[in-house]
Amino acid sequence: MKNPNYYKILKVVSNNCLLVKDGDHEMMIIAKGIGFKRSQGESISKHTAVEKTYQLISDQDFQNQSAQPELIVRKTAEILNIIGEHTEVDGLEDTFKSLSNHISAMLIRIEHGENIRNPFHSETKILYKESYDCSVKIAKDIENKLSIVLPDAEIDFLTLYVHSMQSDQETSYVKHLNAIVYDVVDCLEQTESFQLDRNSLNYARFIIHIKFLIQRVLKQEDFTEIEGIEVIIEQYSQHRELGETILKIIESNLDCSLNHQELAYVMLHLARLNLN
């Protein structure tokens, strides 16, 4: 007989996170040390102090999407457990929620044989190198332990969540930054005289510069002024129009004004890229 005052532990995700069953609903409960020395099948009082609870998408919600809805929920918890071995899965509330839902949707895509593409694979590896490397290791663990092979695009999207947890940044912040960078890349690709080598070192430097420029604006940090800015602008005047277009993209997205210092640096990076 079910005891309404207790949760049943379905999975110990980490020392700080449990997958439990409350009646017909499965949920995550988070509290420091709540998973320590706990085991699957045990009961835990609902009066236990917890910091956060997340109700997972139910089996019923998967009925029209998956042939094995219960397995999707369980595999989601298993993957969260693997991610927890590499990073903290119980950090930011919005990140944890969206990560859980993303994994469930990913498993359904894999079940259906649906492959998604990430046209900004190179940029993801450049912008979040450490998080990408971590995600590759996570994907390998998932393959070894669960026999689930993650496509490259899924690893890219997992990278964004890993970065959010490692940097203590909300996923929405990371996605906003990415959207601006991608707009800049689109601008470069639409410039006919511009031959873009997305695997070059200079391209990586350019993308990283744009990333830090956006972060400075978002954090309202002052730009350190240096001498010789006007000389750079004059020397690379052929790149001024494109440089100004790129700054306008950033300004319109962030509702800010960028100065000649920023323009000069963007022009300098453009000059280093492969132009006809």
**Confidence category of residue 59, pLDDT binned at 50, 70, 90:** very low
pLDDT at 141 over 90: yes
Spatial separation of the C-alpha atoms in residues 68 and 109, rounded to whole Å: 13
CATH at 127: 1.10.1790.10
- The number of folded domains in the chain is 3
Structure-token pair, residue 37? 């020395």
Structure-token pair, residue 100? 């859980």
Structure-token pair, residue 105? 């949707």
Do residues 68 and 160 share a domain?
A: yes
Domain extent, residue 238, equals 178-272
Do residues 75 and 49 share a domain?
A: no
Do residues 85 and 35 share a domain?
A: no
Is the Cα dihedral 165, 167, 173, 178 positive or negative? negative
Angle at 75 between CA 11 and CA 39, to 5 degrees: 10
Do residues 12 and 66 share a domain?
A: no
Do residues 31 and 97 share a domain?
A: no
DSSP string, 77-97: HHHHHHHHHHS-SSS-HHHHH
Do residues 67 and 50 share a domain?
A: no
Do residues 165 and 189 share a domain?
A: no
pLDDT at 249 over 60: yes
C-alpha to C-alpha distances, 131 to 23, 94, 151, 156, 166, nearest whole angstrom: 37, 18, 16, 9, 8
pTM: predicted TM-score of the whole model, two decimal places: 0.68
Average confidence (pLDDT) over 56-63: 51
